[in-house]
Amino acid sequence: MPTDGAAYGELKLFCGSSIPALGREIADYLHVALGRVTLMRFADGEIYCRYEENARGEDAFVIQSTCDPVNEHLMELLIMVDALKRASAGRITAVVPYYGYGRKDKKDAPREPITGRLVADLLTTAGVNRMLTIDLHAGQIEGFFNIPVDHLRALPLFADYLGRKGLRDGVVVAPDDGAVRRSKQLADRLDLPLAVIFQRRVGTDAKEPIQVVGEVQGRIPILIEDIIDTAGTVMRAADVLLAQGCQPEIYVCSTHPVFAGPAFERLARPEIKEVIVTNTIPVPAERKPAKVTLLSAAPLLAEAIRRIHLNQSVSLLFT
């Protein structure tokens, strides 16, 4: 691809083992070949990395989601970055579509870690010069980095997809108070009303709904989350919405399909019409239920990579 305006050398695109399909999609969009890198494990599980092409002075982008197994993929990313730094790459950008450990962005109780900050420190120490990610669990994680962070949003992908469905009886529902801002942005884009489910914490990892603010009776709920982990929040939201008289046709949007534990079982209930996610985390075809729709984040990430490389504005992609 052209390099007019680039402050560094040639664009080099490398991909770790967590999301090879997304890496290939990004490379195809940019009309570049993925860089050659050897990744292997020693007998005791230690990770080995070697780049099979020159990276000196180049503008290197390393694509890796820190998804399951999180520790393996995070360590692999750190080692890939270290190898590039020692190969004298001109600039190293970590493209981390899903930023693992981001759910602990503050201390909720004494003697807890702040893992979102810890991972930021690890990446920066390893040699990352710039971060590119999608839908951090909390916006303040950007401030954990002392390097530039381009924080993209998947919301426009969901808005475009849902807009084509013409859900005029829809209502966008924030499943908890932490999702209000994201839900309002989606409601504004779709020109639909907004409702909020307020919850209270009843355990370390558990909440229960206590109040619904907004009109949901007779409407089609659209839930939007950044992460679906075990789908417990979605299940509880569905229960309270159905009790409030919504239509048994619930749409669920989530950027990061973690799908851990009983997630698929919970999402299989007939009242959930469709689950719309992106491919920031791979969902194996043999496990993906028919009701799960996969939207590709590759064009969004690839365009951001192109603009970063050419020193062009990325702000347009935020909206």
Q: How confident is the model at residue 317 (pLDDT cuts 50, 70, 90)?
A: confident
The answer on pLDDT for 7 being more than 90 is no
SS3 12: strand
Residue 73 C-beta-side C-alpha neighbours within 13 Å? 25
More confident residue, 3 or 12: 12
Q: What Å distances lie between residue 88 and 45, 60, 148, 282, CA to CA?
A: 27, 10, 20, 31
SS3 101: coil
Domains detected in the chain: 11-152+298-318 (3.40.50.2020), 155-295 (3.40.50.2020)
pLDDT more than 70, % of the chain:
94
CA 172 distance to own-chain centroid: 20
C-beta separation of 186 from 154 below 8 A: no
Mean pLDDT of the residues in the chain: 92
Position 57, amino acid: G
Q: Which residue has the tokens 């919970």?
A: 266
pLDDT attached to residue 139: 85
Residue 274 C-beta-side C-alpha neighbours within 13 Å? 13
Nearest Cα residue to 66 out of 38, 112, 100: 100
C-beta separation of 158 from 164 below 8 A: no
pLDDT attached to residue 158: 97
Per-residue pLDDT tens over the stretch 160-204: 999 999 898 999 999 988 889 999 999 999 999 999 998 766 555
pLDDT attached to residue 218: 96
Residue 277: count of CB within 10 angstroms of its CB: 26
